[in-house]
Amino acid sequence: MHTSGLSDPAARDENRLKQLFWPTIRTANDVDYLGAAGYWICTVVALFAVVGLLGQSHPFLAVLLFLFFYLGGVGVRERSRYAAAAVFLAYVADMLGSGPGVLRVFLAALLLSNLRATWIASRWKPDSEDAVPPPRFNETLTDKIADQLPMWLWPKVRVFYYALSVIVMVLLVAGDIALFFHWH
């Protein structure tokens, strides 16, 4: 695999948690890895949102936040700084309203790291053979979901996502303000 240029031995030596929480980009493989990791992080956050809101009998909000976080992950996979920032800010606004917990703080830290990685990746363009993006595979189901689907879906839903993100942020901030005045 190394001789075909599809792996980077330097990136494999790093601790995966370090790469998730303090990402560095040296090659196009790093950019691709961080985009895929960001996609999966946002997907996990979307699933947690659905489970939590369905458990509280809020199906409309569950669908709304699932779409917001999942499509945000699609945008992150495609290096959208806006999507990464929107997902992080919305998650923090939600956490402020509902209270932090260990898992929520952990996920917020991952989303902040995700924002940093997306920011770095969107500007990374060295002039070397390492800058050639790795191929996006289409062999397994996870390849189709994390590699092919975002590439196909993001151009079609990008404008919808911008509008959805404004709606979600307005609802989250309004909810936080209402909770603030209810507590005081």
Whether 2 maps to a domain, the answer reads no
Structural domain containing residue 158: 9-183
User: Could you tell me the pTM of the whole model?
Assistant: 0.82
* Residue 128 is assigned to a structural domain of this protein: yes
In a domain, 65, yes or no: yes
Give residue-wise pLDDT tens across range 15-24.
Answer: 766 766 777 7
Number of domains forming the structure of the chain: 1
Count the helix, strand and coil residues of the chain and give each as a percent rounded to the nearest 5: 80, 0, 20
Q: How far is CA 106 from CA 5, 17, 183, in A?
A: 34, 12, 26
Residue whose pair of structure tokens reads 């995966």 in the numeric block: 16
Establish if 1 belongs to a structural domain.
no
- DSSP element (H, E) containing 20: helix 16-21
pLDDT tens digits along 54-113: 999 999 999 999 999 999 999 999 989 999 999 999 999 988 888 889 999 999 999 999
